[in-house]
Amino acid sequence: MMIPFTPDDILLQLAIVLIAGILGGELFGFLKLPKVTGWIVTGIVLRATATQHQAFTGLAEGTVSNFAPYMSFVLGYIAFTVGAALHFASLRNSAKRLSFLLVGQALVPPAVVVLLMYFVGHWIDPERMTIRASWLLAAVAIAGAPGTTMLVVEEARSRGILTRTLVASVALIDMVAVGAYAFVASYLAEGGTGGEMWHSNWHTAFATVGVEFGMAFIVGSLSAVIALVFARFVVSPAFLGPTMVALILASWGGATGFGVSGILACTFAGIAVTNLKHDVVRSVEAYLHSIGGVLFAAFYTFAGMKALLTNSTRTVEARVG
> Which has more pLDDT, 165 or 269?
269
More confident residue, 308 or 198: 308
Q: What confidence tier does 158 reach under pLDDT thresholds 50, 70, 90?
A: low
Give residue 88's pLDDT: 78
Where on the phi/psi map is residue 157: left (φ > 0), alpha (ψ -120 to 50), or beta?
left
Mean pLDDT of the residues in the chain:
81
For the ranges 136-140, 202-206, 231-235, the maximum mean pLDDT occurs at 231-235
d(CA 141, CA 224): 30
What does the pLDDT average to over 224-248?
Answer: 88
The Cα 48–Cα 43 span in angstroms is 9
Q: Note the pLDDT of residue 202.
A: 72
pLDDT of residue 199: 54
| Prediction pTM value | 0.80
**Confidence (pLDDT) at 308:** 58
In this prediction, residue 239 has a pLDDT band, given cuts at 50, 70 and 90, of: confident
Q: What is the DSSP string of 250-310?
A: HHHHHHHHTTS-HHHHHHHHHHHHHHH-HHHHHHHHHHHHTTHHHHHHHHHHHHHHT--HH
Q: Which positions ≥6 away from 42 have C-beta within 8 Å?
A: 20, 21, 23, 24, 25, 301, 304
Range name among 178-187, 200-209, 270-279, 303-312 with the lowest pLDDT average = 303-312
| pLDDT tens digits along 73-132 | 999 988 898 888 888 777 777 777 778 877 887 888 888 888 888 777 767 777 777 777
Of 69-73, 232-236, 267-271, 284-288, which gets the smallest average pLDDT? Answer: 284-288
For 4-26, the pLDDT digits (tens) are 778 888 999 999 999 999 999 99
Question: pLDDT at position 227, please?
Answer: 92
In the predicted model, what is the mean pLDDT of residues 52-59? 85
What is the average pLDDT across 174-203? 68
pLDDT at 116: 84
Instruction: Tell me the percentage of the chain whose pLDDT exceeds 70.
Output: 89
Region 167-188 average pLDDT: 80
Question: Who's near 160: CB < 8 A, 6+ residues apart?
Answer: none
Taking 80 as the threshold, does the pLDDT of residue 57 lie above it? yes
Mean pLDDT of 291-297: 84
What is residue 318's predicted lDDT score, i.e. its pLDDT? 39
Calculate mean pLDDT across residues 149-173: 73
Which tops the pLDDT comparison, 214 or 319? 214
pLDDT band at 195 (very low <50, low <70, confident <90, very high): very low
- Between residues 157 and 190, the one the model is more confident about: 157
Please, which residues have CB within 8 angstroms of residue 71's CB and are 6 or more apart in sequence? 64, 299, 302, 303
Backbone angles phi, psi at 58, to 5 degrees: 75, 5
pLDDT band at residue 256, thresholds of 50, 70 and 90? very high
Instruction: Provide the sign of the torsion angle of the four alpha carbons 150, 151, 152, 158, taken in this order.
Output: positive
Residue 76 CB burial class (10 angstroms; 0-12, 13-18, ≥19): buried
In the predicted model, what is the mean pLDDT of residues 57-71? 87
Give mean pLDDT, residues 287-306: 85
Distance CA 315, CA 301 (A): 20
Which one, of 123, 122, 143, lies nearest residue 133 by Cα? 122
Treating both helix axes as pointing N-terminal to C-terminal, what angle do 35-48 and 10-30 enclose, rounded to 10 degrees?
A: 130
